[in-house]
């Protein structure tokens, strides 16, 4: 049901994919698409593989976003590894001091976000770059704050913002704490395209001394900063707020902010 070119692409990707579950997912699709006489099942598997390998997720001003799954046109560990390896090469090219300044990494609660954050951290450390790993399931503004607070060279946030729950993404912030803008995105995209086999990317151990596991100190500093500029005015005890984190991860931090700034607690929906 699939042609030789697609078959070669899939098998080559499987050989370089660092994730066992993703390799198995592609192998199962390949088996289903290659079997003769299975009708709709084979057609669906072939169509799925064709879509996953029709292109690859491109790096732009929004970073990467896409459906979670195996293959170059999906969000997975292999794509995160390649993107981060290219980012490391680009950062060290534009400023060798980035190795010591480091990169801050945060993630939300989307499926596999913590796994992708760990993958990015290990690749950066493998390139000799210090990593500041924030606690999992924190909101994006905390990562943006952390870049400036830590004086990091860049920041990575694993999130897909408002995308459907089947998606995930990879946002990049530079040393000013703002999301990347041209031409940085185009330069990183070019570095991704020139990257060799993923099997040749150096990857550090999870307990590498270059990976600094941060606790609550960054969140505390963030709350100190925002509460200092937005304290509750006198006589504000009568104010009433309704707050919902919906499917986000800012709930705990928001409640701490209300309390620290001196506002009455909100009604959480």
Catalytic residues: 161
In eight-state DSSP terms, residue 199 is G
Q: Exposed, middle or buried, 267 (CB in 10 Å: 0-12/13-18/19+)?
A: exposed
Cβ 49 vs Cβ 10: under 8 Å = yes
**Token pair listed for 260:** 């620290």
CB atoms within 10 A of CB 3: 10
Cβ 57 vs Cβ 185: under 8 Å = no
**Token pair listed for 95:** 């400023």
Cβ 219 vs Cβ 146: under 8 Å = no
Q: What whole-number distance in Å separates Cα of residue 251 and Cα of residue 267?
A: 12
Interhelix angle 184-193/77-94, nearest 10 degrees: 120
Q: What whole-number distance in Å separates Cα of residue 61 and Cα of residue 174?
A: 12
**Token pair listed for 215:** 């606790």
130 to 7, 29, 63, 75, 175: CA distances (angstroms): 39, 38, 21, 24, 14
């Amino acid at each position: 049901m699939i042609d030789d070119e697609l078959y070669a692409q899939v098998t080559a990707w499987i050989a370089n994919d660092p994730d066992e579950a993703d390799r198995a997912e592609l192998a199962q699709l390949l088996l289903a698409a290659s079997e003769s006489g299975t009708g709709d099942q084979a057609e669906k598997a072939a169509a799925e593989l064709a879509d996953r390998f029709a292109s690859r997720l491109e790096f732009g001003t929004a970073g990467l976003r896409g459906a979670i799954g195996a293959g170059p046109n999906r969000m997975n560990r292999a794509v995160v590894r390649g993107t981060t390896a290219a980012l490391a090469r680009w950062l060290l090219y534009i400023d060798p001091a980035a190795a010591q300044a480091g990169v801050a990494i945060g993630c939300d609660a989307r499926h596999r976000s913590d796994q992708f954050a760990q993958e990015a951290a290990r690749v950066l450390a493998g390139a000799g770059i210090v990593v500041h790993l924030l606690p999992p399931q924190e909101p994006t503004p905390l990562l943006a704050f952390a870049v400036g607070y830590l004086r990091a060279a860049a920041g990575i946030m694993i999130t897909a913002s408002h995308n459907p729950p089947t998606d995930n993404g990879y946002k990049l912030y530079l040393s000013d704490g703002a999301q990347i803008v041209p031409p940085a995105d185009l330069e990183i995209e070019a570095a991704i395209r020139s990257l060799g086999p993923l099997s040749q990317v150096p990857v550090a151990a999870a307990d590498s001394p270059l990976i600094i596991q941060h606790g609550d100190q960054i969140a505390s500093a963030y709350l100190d900063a925002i509460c200092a500029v937005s304290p509750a005015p006198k006589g504000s005890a009568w104010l009433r707020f309704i707050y919902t984190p919906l499917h986000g991860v800012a709930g705990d931090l928001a409640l701490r902010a209300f309390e620290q700034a001196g506002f009455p607690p909100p009604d959480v929906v």
